[in-house]
Structure 1
Amino acid sequence: MYDVILQVPIIDMPWEDFILLAITALAGGAFGAALGALPAFIFTGFVVFLGEGLAILERSVGGALGAVNPTDVATGVTGVIGFGAITGPHIAFAGGVAASAYAGKKYPEMEPDGWDYHFGKNILYAFGTKPDILAVGAIFGLLGMLITQLGNALVVVSGTAATDFIAFSVFATAFIARAVFGYPIVGRPSGSSLLDMSPFEREEPRAQADGGEVPTEHKGRLATEPWLPHQYKWSGVTVIGLVGGILGGYIYIQTGSIFLGYAISAISLLFLNLGVEKIPVTHHITLIGAVGAVVFLPEAGAVAALLAAGVFGAVSGLLGELTQRLFYSHSGTHVDPPAMAIAIAMFVVVVLSLVGVIPNAGYL
């Protein structure tokens, strides 16, 4: 399954193929800015769902497809499109996130009514055809592709996986966007620490804008802005982590697909984008839950693997909450907690597999 994420590393890629990929990544990043980061990621879910469905079908019919080798079509849909230059999160979503960060500084008047946070965090907003915003998305789509490809090249050179470089690229480009467009990398907490969400609960306003004077359009902002107002309490995050992890693990046990649960979670965000309240964000939970099943199924059996999936999902959910408190809540742009959770979780999985604590490194 690692080849689905790795695709063809840059060191083994002909220059013509690299130029093809770079041009497409520019278009993919602009596509993410045009649609908005979250709508673009929802498309990721649909495409990966299709690819994984094809993979399950191909495994079922085997050689009956004649000249088509089993998994070739599915790998193309999941890897080349879903996690590739068209809807790959490191390209389309990253382009949309950077576009929002840029617009938050350049076009605060575009902010829609009812948006309570800094406009730079609005990843639901579709920027349509505004050329400069699409150009920002294109540049960051290309940057996301390059970071991912360079990370994967290091894997090939070293012979050892390090983490999920798509996830790493998603939050790396978001931090770069903060630096480029003049936002604090972390931001100053209004409570007792970076982890303190009580200013949000008390609805305390921001005393000053990010890093300077208070522009009129920034007055009245909340002092602390949690990533998900309905999903930030430790107890609730733990519970949804257990639930989502078990579901992701069960999907893997029954279908052999690591990414199908991730795709379903991503598709569920369509309802969040449409304004349905309290839809949980779970793609980092179902993915890492599936990894827990991958790790434990061969040696421990289905029941133990399912329980391990729940634990892995809960840990990933808590990592997402920890990183949102550290890196999302106190600055003015979106830095993706699920991407950070996936990258950290997969790094730990790789390390544990290298030292022999667990038998494999999941999809890496």
Structure 2
Amino acid sequence: MIGAVLQVPVLGIEYSTLLILFIAAFAGGAFGAALGALPAFCFTGFMVIAGEAAAFAQADLAGNITGLVAFGPVFGPHISFAGGAAAAAYAARENEMGANFDYHNAKAITYALGTKPSHLVVGGLFGIVGMLITQFSVALSLPWDPIAVSVTLGALLHRVVLGYSIIGVVAGDGIFDMTPFERGEKRAEGSVPGDEDKTGKDRLAVEPWLPHQYKWSGVALIGFIAGVLGGYIWLQTGSYFLGFGISAASLTFLNLGVEKIPVTHHMSLPASTAGAAVVASDPSAGGVLVIVVAAVFGVYGALLGEVWQRIFYAHADTHWDPPAAAITLATLTIALLYILGVFPGSAWVPALGI
């Protein structure tokens, strides 16, 4: 009887498989909390490189390393990164973070939380949430990256559940104004809720996601560069995700404190995907076209990330990932261009079953 029940599908998945996913997602989210969100994401990058290299060498024809490890319960960003970010928000709210971060401690995604059970449980629960959002998106063929949208919605959820403001306290001449940061302006005196290391006078009025990467011209140019390289990598290897993996792995150096390392995975992934979509994943259909469209989408992803950070990161208290939001919106654009008949394909992006 039990065996028969376990064969009944939910979201197209048998109960037994879904149960395994629940348990593995909890463990993956808890592991992301223990490592820290960004260190866990760096491992995502390394595993994508390993998986895509193996697939290119025809040693991993099914893409198991990329699909089941890098994007699965072990290091899938919707599970390990999202779980780590939520655990950091919880730990900061409980005055248990101790990261001594320049911004609000809930944004300290480079900080490993270790083995405190409450932190691991929060990470694990949000890992399960991330898995469920992704599975729903895949089951319904919703027109965006199902992992990126899960990271994005998971961050919104942890702000709401843990009592943080959605936008935060806007300073300066509006939500897009970064000049208070440039002037070194501080917030009003008083305690900073959920951050035991700071009073208001210690905290910047505006906290740009990347202090070395927020000016429009530089953001656009690095987007162009990452976009060209993402398109070129797809042309030469046929891999949609190798450029993303390289971008993600490069953040190891940022996590280790190397200054001014750019964050580019929200540029390289839309670039390689759009480049493939514009020729229906047929490299022989036009290499120059691939590179041009990839460059455009590299810039597009970069600017989307910057817009997102100015609205949802710079004035708020927790990490709401600009790259995940940018990838969600950029892949939605690719799917819509396919649905509207502008692109002949959508590469790997679902398109409502079309």
Q: 2: distance between equivalents of 1:259 and 1:93? A: 18
**TM-score, scaled to structure 2:** 0.91
Which residue does the alignment assign to 1:296? 278
Q: Which runs of 5+ in 1 are unaligned?
A: 1-8, 59-64, 156-160
1:122 aligns with 2:112: no
Residue pair 2:168, 2:315 contacting (<8 A) in 1 also: yes
Contact residue 10 and residue 149 of structure 1 kept, 8 A: no
Q: Determine whether 1:281 maps to 2:256.
A: no
Between stretches 187-196 and 210-219, larger displacement belongs to 210-219
Retained in 1: the 8 A contact 2:205–2:315?
Answer: yes
Distance (whole Å) between structure 1 residues aligned to residue 15 and residue 300 of structure 2: 41
Q: Partner residue of 2:183?
A: 202
What fraction of aligned residue pairs are identical, expressed as a percent? Answer: 50
CA 1:50–1:180 in 2, change beyond 3 Å: closer, same or farther?
Answer: same
Instruction: Give the counterpart of 1:173 among 154, 159, 166.
Output: 154
CA distance in 2, matches of 1:210, 1:165: 38
Moved more, 283-292 or 231-240: 283-292
What secondary structure is seen at the aligned counterpart in 1 of 2:74? coil
Deviations 1:231-257 (A, max 9, x none): 000000000000000001000000000
Greater fraction helix: 1
SS at match of 1:314: helix
1:97-176 superposed matches below 5 A? 97-107=85-95, 110-112=98-100, 115-155=101-141, 161-176=142-157
> Quick one: distance in 2 between partners of 1:214 and 1:71?
48
CA deviations over 1:152-189 (Å, ceiling 9, x no partner): 1112xxxxx41111100101111111111111011121
Aligned-pair Cα RMSD in Å: 1.9
Q: Does residue 319 in structure 1 map to residue 304 in structure 2?
A: yes
Q: Please give the alpha-carbon distance, in whole angstroms, between the structure 2 residues aligned to 1:123 and 1:109.
A: 11
The aligned runs of 1:189-338 (5 Å cut-off) are 189-207=170-188, 217-219=198-200, 220-297=202-279, 298=282, 301-338=286-323
Work out which of the residue numbers 65, 80, 85 in structure 2 matches 1:77.
65
Structure 2: 5+ residue stretches without partners: 1-8, 350-354
- Letter in structure 2 aligned against 1:227: W
Q: Distance in 1 between matches of 2:159 and 2:147?
A: 19
Structure 1 residues 3-22: aligned runs within 5 Å:
10-22=10-22
Aligned-partner SS, 2:144: coil
Change in 2 beyond 3 A, CA 1:209/1:143? farther
Residues 189 and 300 from structure 1, CA distance in 2 versus in 1: closer, same or farther, beyond 3 angstroms? farther
User: TM-score, normalised on structure 1?
Assistant: 0.89
Contact 2:50 2:65 in 1 (8 A): yes
Note the C-alpha offset of 1:362.
2.4
2:37 maps to a residue whose letter is A
Residues 187, 204 of structure 2: 8 Å contact kept:
yes
- Aligned to 1:345, which of 326, 330, 334? 330
- The alpha carbon displacement at 1:361 in A equals 1.3
Return closer, same or farther for 1:10/1:87 CA change in 2, 3 Å cut-off: farther
Give 1:140's aligned amino acid: F
Amino acid at match of 1:241: G
Shift of 1:144: 0.5
8 A contact 2:30–2:80 mirrored in 1 = yes
> In the alignment, which residue of structure 1 is the partner of 2:44?
44
Q: Which amino acid aligns with 1:346?
A: T
Deviation, structure 1 residue 40: 0.2
Tell me if structure 1 keeps the 8 A contact 2:277–2:334: no
